[in-house]
Structure 1
Amino acid sequence: MATAILLQPRTPPDYHRIASSKLTIPSDPEVSIPVGILACDPLLRSLDTTVVSATIVQPPAAAAEKSKKATKKAVAAPSLPTEPLLHVQLHDTVIFPEGGGQPTDIGTLTVKADGSSWEVLQAKRHGGHAVHYVRVKGDADAALKAFAPGTEVTVALGDEGYERRYDHMSMHTSQHLLSALLETRLDVPTLSWSLTTYPSPCYVEVPRGLTAEEVLSIQNEANRLVFEGRKVHVEVEELDNSAEPTQVQKTESGRAIGKALPEDYTGGVKRVVVIDGVDRNPCCGTHLPSIHNLQLFLLPHTEALSRSSTTNARLYFLAGPRLITYLTSTHNIAARTSAIMSCGPPLLPERVSQVVEERKKVEKRVNDLEAELAEQIAKTVLADQATKAGEGLVATHLHRVEDSTNALGFLSSVASAVSSKAEKYLSSRPYLFVLSSTPSTQTQNTSSVVLVIGSDDKIVKQIGDALKVKVGIKGGGKGPRWSGKYTGVWKATKENTAIADVLNEMQS
């Protein structure tokens, strides 16, 4: 029986290209390789290297707190503990230090001498070199001893770290492809981009909205290039720190397009990512060696963003693992919905439209019936009060058990009917009606509604104030109406009795 053998993907030998005869990669294990030429194989998962330096650092309280705050869209860096951390600098590393819009990798450091494994929470660029933020295990002095300069270690991404890296590379390389096509095909520059938290779509921010036709044309062109399997490579050369800083291009509104090199980027290299025949773009991030598996899906709309006198837009996109997750999720949703609607996925829009139309008809019928019922209740209540002798204030309470989605709306219909018919049944006698409604099933968090109407604004306010104090109803009103809400279990022997007592006092 044949057995499938899964081979690890390999990066082509010409992926990393040194474009200058003056630039060499340091081979001395006591020297840290600059950012930009670290472990030049983007698919490499682990690497044997040596420790250059290690220090114990106490994270500032503000920084530790900031690391815990995740935004809705941007990728949040892994949290840093408040206790001391090891800052470890290696000769080389496969763990990417955040930069270029791409978040930090995570991974482990394993000391070869004793096999101890240490968690790398983040990696950041300090000047032109990568520093690993390592969680301290036990005594700080022992941790420093474990990572003494010259110590041989294995730095690795691990399964979780590699999946994270692969996702980031897929989205980052796709963004380069997308931005290049927007610029060359539509003359639309990318103002910024955001690598959002998995599995959300990432987005590029552009100076104007795009039509559905423009979005589709860019998507088709991108996927034609993906089908061709355009290669990606990196070119590096020495960084000329004596040169004038690169001026960032700006739009007519003054908005910057992209970013220049950070001011503290010293000792590194100048690095350009090239998609063959498509794009050349300075970038320090990690990228796949080919776009052949990066089928690009653009959400067919742009989200408008108004900022002072300009209106920018966001175009969302998916590729790689995020696209697979998106397709799986949407398929499952469609399949579950189809089962509920008893039809195949192609018929879902038609069947949902039918259900919506039927629901509208049902809601109209319910509204009509509630209006008829409100009229009938008002007639019954007024007729009953009209039979009672007396010339003073007509005051009564009507309580109903209703499972209506809009109980207050129904009581308002009853109140309106009462107001319109009061003169006919009660002549000129003053009146005060308290209407209340509770659902059939109640808990301590159940909300019951109360509506007060009357012929005298002053009396309505007095009864409302009394209901607040003696029944615990929270509410307010103006003129001849007052409404409120009661939270808890409404008991006829308690709340109804309390309302009756308030009304009796009012009549007195």
Structure 2
Amino acid sequence: MATTATLSPPSVTPPTYHRIVSPTLAIPTDPLQPIPVGLLACQRDPLLRELTTTAVSCRVSQSPSVRSNGREGKKKKPAPAPTAPLLEVVLHDTIIFPEGGGQPADVGILTSSDGDLWDVVEAKRHGGHAVHYVRLKPEQNVDDAFRLFSPGAVVGVSLGDQGFRRRLDHMCMHTSQHLLSAVLETRLHVETLAWSLTAYPAPCYVELARGLSPEEIATAQEEANRLVFEGRSVHVEVEELDPTVKVMSGPSVGIPSNYTGGVKRTVVIDGVDRNPCCGTHLPSIHNLQLFLLPNMEALARATTSSVRLYFLAGPRLITHLTSTHTLLTSTASIMSCGAPQVPERVQQVVEERKKATKRVEDLEAELAAAIASEIAACAPREGGELVLRRHRTDDSATALAFLSAISTAFVSKHVESGSTSPYLVVLSSSPSAQTSASTTVVLVFGSGDQKVKDVGEALKAKLNVKGGGKGPRWSGKFTGVWKDGREGAALAAILESVKF
């Protein structure tokens, strides 16, 4: 659909990016007071990689664990015991973004005045302030942390290479979502209900009230990339928050009940979109090429239904294209053809596999009938009962189905012959190469329900076969190495005890 371009973000955030539009709003300068979320350095200058600031407070964390993306799953699992102490450090300012607006938190590094490095594994917003979760290394201790992060202590904050790659990925996907949602709403009149910034490198998605046709997806992608090629600029407008306003417009955007920052940020894509958001965004959509995946996932809920439209941009798009090309090239090599011929060659292989499977099924049906005839021939000529066992070596994944086909064919032949003689047959099948984890399947069938049940119970008790059945059939599985001189002998002994 769309071609890709190398991501080349600007190295410096333009001075016009962050705009305080309230005349009475100012960034706090008291080094012992934290700057509120909405005015943090990471939100004022998203390309800033390091910063020198001061500590405000430090305490041992009250949280048993910290999630890497700041989200809770639908099924909450017990938190694992922490492997090292976790501290909560509040700074005057920070370039480490705390989770918010659907965007996971950054990770980074704090440098104390003695030059020691402290790992920030998560950042969260408590009320209106950013809290850094610092995981202590084995050589670090809590007492030193309290001293080095005491109020007023000088602290260096940096994203590091890993942190900046994470930040760049989050910015690319978050800004792309704003662009995509704006295009969907203005061009196709489709509102974005929610979105998810998934873990790298999976595609992110927007949740829509209805599905899109391939033509609509192509239109949205073309329009978004037209704006990208124009290099539309992005800036942020910050103002004091009206305390009477409880809900903002936009996809999954609202004021959390525990938000006490008093700052409203509006992210503006020049001539395209204005949307309240606390996340970090690139100062331009230049080279932020957007790729929409044509497959959509339908969701059904008790009250409504929606679809997910997946998209890629920035480093994720490049990673996706690279891995896809590698897979395609590898598949073409396996199929001994050029990349353009892969779909045709795969279709050919699938058709040949279907024919081969059908041939195997036909041959197995023929073989099952032959084995059934062989078993039926063992019945006494002048009446009497038939009690026997047959063991096979079969590496098929459907060995039990084959044994069932034998039993079906035998019962059919027995009925056709008009015989009223009672019978009890036990079929078993093991793989050719057996280990302690191998599975041998066992099928018991007969003319008497009670006899079949009795043999099944005996197999459970004496051979630890797991299984069950109803009426004239019982099936089970034996785990381990099946030997005729051992398990086979035990089965023979069980059948010896059967009396009609």
TM-score (norm 1): 0.89
**Per-residue deviation, 1:257:** 5.3
Q: In 1, Cα distance between the equivalents of 2:487 and 2:350?
A: 40
Cα distance per residue 1:236-287 (max 9 Å; x no partner):
123343xx224456xxxxxx95332223333442211100010011111100
- Aligned counterpart, 2:374: 380
**Per-residue deviation, 1:80:** 9.4
Which residue identity is paired with 1:237?
E
TM-score (norm 2): 0.91
Cα distance per residue 1:61-88 (max 9 Å; x no partner):
4xx28779986799x9x99947654333
- Aligned counterpart, 2:110: 109
Match of 1:192 among 168, 191, 194: 194
Match of 2:431 among 424, 439, 449: 439
Match of 1:332 among 326, 333, 337: 326
- Aligned counterpart, 1:154: 156
- Residues 307-386 of structure 1 correspond to what in structure 2 (within 5 A)? 307-386=301-380
Q: In 1, Cα distance between the equivalents of 2:177 and 2:39?
A: 22
- Aligned counterpart, 2:208: 206
Contact 1:461 1:482 in 2 (8 A): yes
- Residues 26-425 of structure 1 correspond to what in structure 2 (within 5 A)? 26-39=28-41, 40-51=44-55, 53-61=56-64, 64=65, 81=82, 85-112=86-113, 114-136=114-136, 138-241=140-243, 244-247=244-247, 258-386=252-380, 391-423=383-415
Measured at CA, do residues 66 and 272 of structure 1 come closer, stay the same or move farther in structure 2, by a change above 3 Å?
A: closer
Which residue identity is paired with 1:504?
E
Contact 2:253 2:276 in 1 (8 A): no
Runs of 5+ consecutive residues of structure 1 not aligned to the other structure = 1-5, 250-255
Which residue identity is paired with 1:395?
V
Q: In 1, Cα distance between the equivalents of 2:71 and 2:30?
A: 40
Which residue identity is paired with 2:102?
G
**Per-residue deviation, 1:420:** 1.6
Which residue identity is paired with 1:206?
L
2:489 aligned with 1:497, yes or no?
yes
Q: In 1, Cα distance between the equivalents of 2:248 and 2:276?
A: 12
Which residue identity is paired with 1:118?
W
Contact 1:59 1:82 in 2 (8 A): no
Measured at CA, do residues 219 and 79 of structure 1 come closer, stay the same or move farther in structure 2, by a change above 3 Å?
A: farther
Which residue identity is paired with 1:98?
E
Runs of 5+ consecutive residues of structure 2 not aligned to the other structure = 1-7
Measured at CA, do residues 476 and 128 of structure 1 come closer, stay the same or move farther in structure 2, by a change above 3 Å?
A: closer
SS across alignment from 1:191 = strand
Contact 2:379 2:385 in 1 (8 A): no
2:18 aligned with 1:9, yes or no?
no
- Aligned counterpart, 2:457: 465
Measured at CA, do residues 349 and 441 of structure 1 come closer, stay the same or move farther in structure 2, by a change above 3 Å?
A: same
Contact 1:73 1:197 in 2 (8 A): no
Which residue identity is paired with 2:132?
H
Contact 1:383 1:425 in 2 (8 A): no
SS across alignment from 1:412 = helix
C-alpha root-mean-square deviation of aligned residues, in Å? 2.7
**Per-residue deviation, 1:335:** 1.1
Contact 2:70 2:104 in 1 (8 A): no
Cα distance per residue 1:183-232 (max 9 Å; x no partner):
11222221211111111111111222222221221111111111111111
SS across alignment from 1:101 = coil
Q: In 1, Cα distance between the equivalents of 2:372 and 2:321?
A: 56
Contact 1:212 1:301 in 2 (8 A): no
Contact 2:183 2:220 in 1 (8 A): yes
**Per-residue deviation, 1:136:** 4.4
**Per-residue deviation, 1:446:** 0.8
Contact 2:214 2:294 in 1 (8 A): yes
